[in-house]
Amino acid sequence: MTDVLLRNGLPWGLGAPADILVRDGLIDRVAPGIDSPGALVVDIDGQLVLPGLVEAHCHLDKTLYGGPWVPHSADDTLAGRIGNDLGRRAELGVPSVARIGALLERMSAAGTTHVRTHTDIDPLVGLRGVEAVREAAARSPVDVRQVAFPQHGMLINPGTAELLEEALKSGVEAVGGLDPAGIDRDPVRHLDVIFGLAERYGVRLDIHLHDGGSLGAWELELITERTRVLGLAGRVTVSHAYALGQLDEAYQDRLIQGFAEAGVALVTAAVYSFPVPPVKRLRAAGVTVACGHDGIRDLWGPYGSGDMLERAMHVAYRSTFRRDEDIELALEAATHGGARVLGLEGYGLSPGDRADLVVLPSGSPAEAVIVHPGRTLVMKDGVVLHN
C-alpha cells in the first residue's frame, strides 16, 4: 500500500494547518512540514479534513435509488406508509441489489465511510433484505452494518421474532425494535424479546420510537431502565424519539439524565416536521447523539440524497442552530456520534486512527455543514476512492 501525504490541510479540531501522513491504512502522523520520501503527495491547499462521515440510520433495503422515478403513493399516517411498503415492494422489486449498490456508491462519493442500516425482517420477506444488503455491501468500500428490524411489527406478526433471531445467527450486527406500545401494543413483552436477543447474541440494540407525548416518554423510561439494569451502557440506541421533543423541559431533563446515566444514545433524522430531540442539551449532558437520513427515495418518502453533510444541515436547521459552535454539534452527530453508536474503534483524525478521511473546500466545519460543497477527496482505509 502506497503511503499518502495530504499536504497543508485543515484537520477538524486541530485549529491550525497541518500535513497528514497515511501509512498502511492508518493515520501515521499529523503535523506541519512532514517529510516522507516515496509517499504520494496530494496538496489539499488549506481545505478542511474530516473523518469519514457516518450514516447511523437508514434503510438500504427499501431504496428505489438509481431506478426510474416512482411517485409517492402512501398517505401521511404511519400505518399508511407501512401498508404502502408492504403492498408495493414486490411490484417494484424491493429489495434490489443494484439499487442498494447505486446508493452506496453515492454515499461513498459524498464521504460516507460507515453505514448502519435497518433491514426489514418479516414472514413475507424473510431474510432476503439481509442477503441483498450483504451482496451490495460486498462490492462497496463502505462499511455496512445491519439492524434486524421488524418494520411491520413483531408481536402482531407471528414468526417475526424467530426470524430476527435467525438474522442474528447469520451475523447481523444489531437487533431492532419498533414502537413497543403504538404498534405491538405490549411494550413489556416487546422489550423482553429484543433485549433478550441483544443479550443472548451480544449485539447492539436500536429501537425506532415514533410514539409521541406521554406514551412515548413512558417507553423511553422503560428502555432506559432496562439498559441500566442489564448493564448494556453504550449498546442501546433510540432512533427518532419524537416524544422527547414534545415534552416540557423539566421532563426532558429527567429523561436526558437517565440516558446519560444508563448509556442510552439517540439518533435523529430531522425529517419533515416531526419533533427533533434537544441536541444541544443532550450533548451538554454527555448523551451520544447521531443522525441519519431514515428513508432514502423509497416507498416511505421520495426524499434523501445520501449526503450526510446535507443531513447534518437539516439537523442544525431544525434545531434552530445559528452559531458555529452549535452547528458543529450537527457535524459531530454525523461523525463521532455515529461512530460511538456503531461502536467503531480507531475513528478520528489522530495518529493510529483508521485513515477514513474526507477533504472539502470549506474554511470551517460550520461552513461545511451549511454549504455542503462537493468533496475534493474521499479516502477509506488509506485508499483514495474519489478525488
Note the pLDDT tens digit of each residue in 241-298.
999 999 999 999 999 999 999 999 999 999 999 999 999 999 999 999 999 999 999 9
**pTM across the whole model:** 0.98
| Stated length of the chain | 387
- Cell for 114? 460507515
Cα 117 from Cα 130, distance rounded (Å): 10
> pLDDT at position 78, please?
81
In the numeric block, which cell numbers belong to residue 383? 485508499
Please report, to the nearest 10 degrees, the dihedral formed by the alpha carbons of residues 240, 246, 249, 253 taken in order: -30
Element (H, E) at 135: helix 128-138
Is the per-residue pLDDT at 326 higher than 90?
Answer: yes
Helices (H), 245-380: 249-262, 279-284, 308-318, 324-332, 338-342, 365-371
Cell of 126: 424473510
pLDDT band, very low/low/confident/very high, at 82 (cuts 50, 70, 90)? confident
Whether 4-51+348-386 shares its CATH topology with 53-342 is answered: no
Q: Is the pLDDT assigned to residue 1 strictly greater than 80?
A: no
* Residue 8 to residue 31: CA distance in whole angstroms: 9
Hey, where are the domains in the chain? 4-51+348-386, 53-342
Q: What is the mean pLDDT of residues 194-216?
A: 98
- Provide CATH code, domain 53-342: 3.20.20.140
- 215: confidence class by pLDDT, cuts 50, 70, 90: very high
Sign of the torsion angle spanned by Cα atoms 360, 361, 364, 365: negative
Contacts of 120 (CB under 8 A, 6+ apart): 59, 61, 62, 95, 129, 149, 151, 152
**Residue 221 contacts residue 255 (beta carbons within 8 Å):** yes
What whole-number distance in Å separates Cα of residue 12 and Cα of residue 322?
19
Phi, psi (5° rounding) for residue 83? Answer: -65, -40
Amino acid at 316: A
CATH classification (class only), 4-51+348-386: mainly beta
Strand partners, 294: 58
Residue 231 has pLDDT above 90, yes or no: yes
Q: How far apart are the first and last CA of the chain?
A: 18
Q: To the nearest whole number, what is the mean pLDDT of the chain?
A: 97
d(CA 347, CA 213): 36
For residues 162-170, average pLDDT: 98
Q: Model confidence over 23-80: pLDDT tens digits?
A: 999 999 999 999 999 999 999 999 999 999 999 999 999 999 999 999 999 998 888 8
